[in-house]
Structure 1
């Protein structure tokens, strides 16, 4: 119930941002048009944003025939978590990462890169996929996927505002300084919305994943390996093209700098590892 409330607040906040930008671009008519667009996007995001995100990463669905070991691992972890079996995807990508998406546990999907399967041991992969299933169990995936889709749209609309300016309610050119401020603040606000939501969510998914897999130390080890790779200077190209999706990943895949830094929503790897090792030491 709490996550449904957070989703409603997120959608309302981003709708308000759309309306502010619409008013800057076209006065009252622009604000009304932005409201219509925002409502349509809210509808699309609820029903189809998971498919859009999977398409962004060119994720390919696999099954017990095409990826038997990985598929059965997810199946076993889903049973341990008391969840329906999600759809399972692989992404042909060297950068090690993974995410979950979908509007509820009955319509969930988990995706992992081929790079993460090569980098990690079987124990560590189990820890990572248990983390993603914890997101599904906690019903984080709806708000995560919607925020990725809509914050990306906010960024595009802000760029449009920056390059094309707008008109006030009487048809006169809008104040260029005000227009520039709105264009700059919109993606900042969208990023802050995501940041406020996702940091605590990652800690809870780490804890939930450790409980599902029964191996907090394996997840801690996986995070350390992914962190070292992510800071080796090799970018994840799909994430660089779609930075609003970065908060869905188990580890921030962005190289940083510019507007991409706004979407760096994950807590520090060191703190995540320390919490997991404390769980392992205390036998949780």
Structure 2
């Protein structure tokens, strides 16, 4: 919680400084910028989970409608010493998953239909354990807030074009234009860097929750292949949510590593293999073409 509050304070200050640099002595603009940042924080804290689930058309399931998935998730949540999250299924064929929610008591795990159809039970367990780790470590709140405030900085840069400080801009017209470009880029880089660090930690914690690092490593190996072949239309329409998924759902070409929302899957698999103490290449478990979930 302390890390989250520090992040909120730092990102809010960044929004205020960006407003000051863009608008000069236009105190009202800076005040509005800070108020806007706090407002975005408040909205993100209470409503981000519902908004993200709606964006992706997630459908709630329970013990009756998805008994195997529910029982497996409940069992691992008990082992992790955390409440059972709400479960959702997204009707897309791209195998993927994400977690959302402001705290472990108000959290949700969403998995795609493609994940259930293409993964073994052990691989699904590894993926769900990874998402439970995000919830346990409160990464869902941290990543949502950074995404929201990164968007706030971008919006402020656009507003500055129309409501800036005119000739009183401290950086001059050219400097202000450069700031309008660089401020959103800086916020996005911070967002992506935080996301990459949290993925490594969730991999390690998830491996501990499910009890076998190879399950998650095998899932990542399969996801690396399948997610790149199958479109996720909802994610393409809402790219700001890409960092929340276990692997990048977007189909981008030649993206610089500085702007990547996820660490390289090969490195994530290598770290998991170190945890298992195994050697040699990763061989995912056999499965039927229809998958174990029907």
TM-score by length of structure 2 reads 0.83
1:253 equivalenced with 2:252 (yes/no): no
Give the distance between the partners of 1:48 and 1:260, measured in 2 at CA: 32
The structure in which a higher percent of residues are helix is 1
Q: 1:155 to 1:266 in 2, by over 3 A?
A: same
Contact 1:166–1:179 (8 Å) recurs in 2 = no
1:280 equivalenced with 2:279 (yes/no): no
Q: 1:167 to 1:191 in 2, by over 3 A?
A: closer
How far off its partner does 1:281 sit?
2.4
119-128 or 246-255, which deviates more: 246-255
Give the distance between the partners of 2:35 and 2:252, measured in 1 at CA: 33
Give the distance between the partners of 1:257 and 1:154, measured in 2 at CA: 26
Give the distance between the partners of 1:200 and 1:211, measured in 2 at CA: 17
Which residue does the alignment assign to 1:111? 110
Task: Report SS of the residue matched to 1:95.
Answer: coil
Q: 1:119 to 1:282 in 2, by over 3 A?
A: closer
How far off its partner does 1:259 sit?
9.5
139-148 or 176-185, which deviates more: 176-185
Which residue does the alignment assign to 1:102? 101
Unaligned runs of 5+ in 2: 280-294
How far off its partner does 1:252 sit?
1.5
1:7-55 CA-to-partner distances (Å, cap 9, x unmatched) read 2233233323432454425832211111111111112222222222222
Contact 2:99–2:108 (8 Å) recurs in 1 = yes
Give the distance between the partners of 1:168 and 1:158, measured in 2 at CA: 12
How far off its partner does 1:190 sit?
1.6
Aligned length: 277
Which residue does the alignment assign to 1:140? 139
Give the distance between the partners of 2:155 and 2:255, measured in 1 at CA: 12
Give the distance between the partners of 1:156 and 1:263, measured in 2 at CA: 19
Which residue does the alignment assign to 2:195? 198
Which residue does the alignment assign to 1:208? 205
Q: 1:142 to 1:245 in 2, by over 3 A?
A: same
1:164-217 CA-to-partner distances (Å, cap 9, x unmatched) read 444316778x95433332222122112222233222221121111111111211
Contact 2:96–2:111 (8 Å) recurs in 1 = yes
Give the distance between the partners of 2:72 and 2:37, measured in 1 at CA: 39
Task: Report SS of the residue matched to 1:103.
Answer: strand
Q: Which one of the candidate residues 234, 243, 247 is aligned to 2:239? A: 243
1:217 equivalenced with 2:219 (yes/no): no
* RMSD value, Cα: 2.8
